[in-house]
């Protein structure tokens, strides 16, 4: 449909965050230091954000856009609340990997992580980065065991990690909510060869079944000496 919706001039944007704070629907977020419209369906077109911008970087246009979605807005508001309260480690961040891949100063190897947090217990059930995502759900030991973990597994995926033995929890309930409430394209499970690590694979398969969605799930198994022994 054609409707009124926010437009942000990134060249003018100074990254002050005033518009994101003013947007009650959570339609605007800060990504790599710039204001960004997170979803057409979050924006009601009323313009609470417009007068808050000191750089005159926000305007409204009439264009083809998804309809305003009140349920999606409620989820976005919950995300925004999490960003401004509680533990700083739970605050959502979205990173640009195009920038990270270019950043090889001082001989550092580029990382491919695209979001924060990564712990299954800390991630919100609904977040902008889950839209159309290919998920990596990995046992936390795998990143220390397999040397090329970022390039091989994290690149191009939204990463979630956990340890079913140490956390002593069943991840399937939360993962099934993530699968239900988001458009997840696929899931790659990476686990260790040790038997207790099978819990994370079982939780993902159970969550996919509970969700009722046909989400492709693949599993790679890492040996304790750092080799991929099954995929």
CA quadruple 214, 175, 139, 122: dihedral sign = positive
Buried b (16+ CB within 10 A) or exposed e, 1-12: eebebbebeeee
pTM: 0.63
Residues 113-145 have pLDDT tens digits of 999 899 998 888 888 889 899 999 999 999 999
Phi first, then psi: give them for residue 61, nearest 5 degrees: -130, 160
Average pLDDT over residues 55-70: 91
Confidence of residue 95 (pLDDT cuts 50, 70, 90): confident
Distance in angstroms (rounded) separating the CA atoms of residues 204 and 201: 5
Cα 67–Cα 75–Cα 153 angle in degrees, nearest 5: 100
pLDDT of residue 106 exceeding 50, the answer is no
Please give the structure tokens belonging to residue 61.
């246009």
Distance in angstroms (rounded) separating the CA atoms of residues 203 and 135: 14
Phi first, then psi: give them for residue 193, nearest 5 degrees: -75, -20
Closest by CA to 203, choosing from 120, 122, 114, is 120
């Amino acid at each position: 449909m054609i409707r009124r919706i926010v437009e942000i001039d990134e060249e003018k944007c100074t990254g002050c965050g005033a518009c994101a704070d003013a947007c009650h629907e959570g339609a605007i977020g800060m990504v790599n230091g710039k204001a960004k419209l997170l979803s057409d369906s979050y924006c009601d077109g009323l313009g609470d954000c417009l007068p808050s911008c000191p750089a005159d970087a926000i305007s409204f246009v009439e264009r083809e856009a998804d309809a305003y979605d009140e349920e999606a807005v409620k989820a976005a508001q919950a995300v925004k609340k999490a960003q401004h309260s509680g533990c700083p480690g739970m605050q959502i961040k979205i990173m640009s990997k195009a920038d990270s891949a270019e950043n090889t100063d001082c001989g550092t190897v580029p990382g491919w992580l695209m979001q924060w947090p990564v712990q299954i217990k800390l991630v919100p059930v609904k977040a902008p980065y889950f839209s159309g995502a290919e998920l990596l759900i990995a046992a936390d030991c795998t990143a220390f065991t397999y040397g090329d973990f970022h390039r091989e597994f994290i690149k191009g995926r939204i990463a979630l990690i956990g340890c079913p033995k140490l956390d002593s929890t069943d991840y399937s309930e939360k993962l099934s909510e993530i699968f239900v409430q988001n458009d997840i394209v696929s899931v790659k499970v990476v686990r260790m060869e040790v038997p207790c690590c099978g819990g994370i694979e079982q939780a993902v398969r159970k969550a996919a079944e509970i969700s009722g969605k046909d989400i492709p799930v693949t599993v790679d198994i890492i040996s304790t000496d750092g080799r991929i022994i099954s995929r």
